[in-house]
Amino acid sequence: SICQTFAGDKKDLIVAIATPSAQAAAAAAPEIPLVFSAVTDPVSAGLITNPEKPEGLITGTSDAIAVDQIFDLMEKLTPGVQTVGMIYNLGEDNSVSVINNAKAFCDANGIAYTEATVTNSSEVQQAALSLVGKCQAIFTPIDNTVASAMPVLSQVAIENKIPVYPGADSMVIDGGFATVGVDYILLGRQTAAMAAKILEGTPVSGVPVETLTEVSTIINQTTAEALGIEISQEILSNATVVE
């Protein structure tokens, strides 16, 4: 309804943050240039077909992270994980895409996995409880549904000594253990620069989708202590540490 209002007001451009918002904007205001931000997989989300040369009026920034970097971090911080639990919303295209990549990584590296899916944030606690005793670590992608209930997920995980490796730094700040992620302040600035180009006259087709190449390790020290996990000073010195 917000985007329908934008369409009625004939706004010059819409910036939509995260996949659900971008999909809603694309559907409600197809005649207005759309710059999405923090959409992990815009192709799977049905927003674009060619990231390098956008067709129509849609482009933006992706916060995609190669899952192998997160799983490599998992091996460094909590070696010996044999089974990974995965929590995500089947209705979020972003999440399904990342989970498929995570499963492929696990299959290729001899890591077992089990999953629990949710349809809304109120189901996250039960999904987390269903994984207790079945895995030694939990992975969740940049999933809006899970993110909104991250404190609940982290509480269950901490009580059962299970480290959670989420897809976003904000989810680590909300109680997750650690991740490799993008700096969303930089991503926001990058999105704004793309929007400015379009407003200044550059056609959308001339503004390809961009993904941040700079990533960093984020570790929640409070969660680490609650889990009883000791982290070497070498790793801490090269990470962003939150409490």
Helical segments of the chain, H only? 2-9, 19-28, 67-77, 93-108, 124-131, 144-148, 150-159, 169-173, 184-199, 221-227, 233-237
Q: What are phi and psi of 235, to 5 degrees?
A: -70, -45
Cα three-residue angle 49-70-95, rounded to 5 degrees: 40
Question: pTM of the full predicted structure?
Answer: 0.81
**Distance between CA atoms of 109 and 83, rounded to whole angstroms?**
12
Instruction: Give the pLDDT score at 14.
Output: 98
CB 59 within 8 A of CB 194: yes
Instruction: Give the pLDDT score at 31.
Output: 96
pLDDT tens for each residue of the chain, 243 residues long: 999 999 999 999 999 999 999 999 999 999 999 999 999 889 988 999 999 999 899 999 998 878 999 999 999 999 999 999 999 999 988 899 899 999 999 999 999 999 999 999 999 999 999 999 999 999 999 898 999 999 999 999 999 999 999 998 889 999 999 999 888 888 999 999 999 999 999 999 999 999 987 788 999 999 999 999 999 999 999 999 998
Instruction: Give the pLDDT score at 90.
Output: 93
Instruction: Give the pLDDT score at 214.
Output: 79
**Distance between CA atoms of 206 and 197, rounded to whole angstroms?**
9
Structure tokens at 128: 């987390």
Residues whose CB is less than 8 angstroms from the CB of residue 222 and which lie 6 or more positions away in sequence, other chains included: 243
Cα three-residue angle 17-69-36, rounded to 5 degrees: 15
Instruction: Give the pLDDT score at 138.
Output: 98
Instruction: Give the pLDDT score at 215.
Output: 85
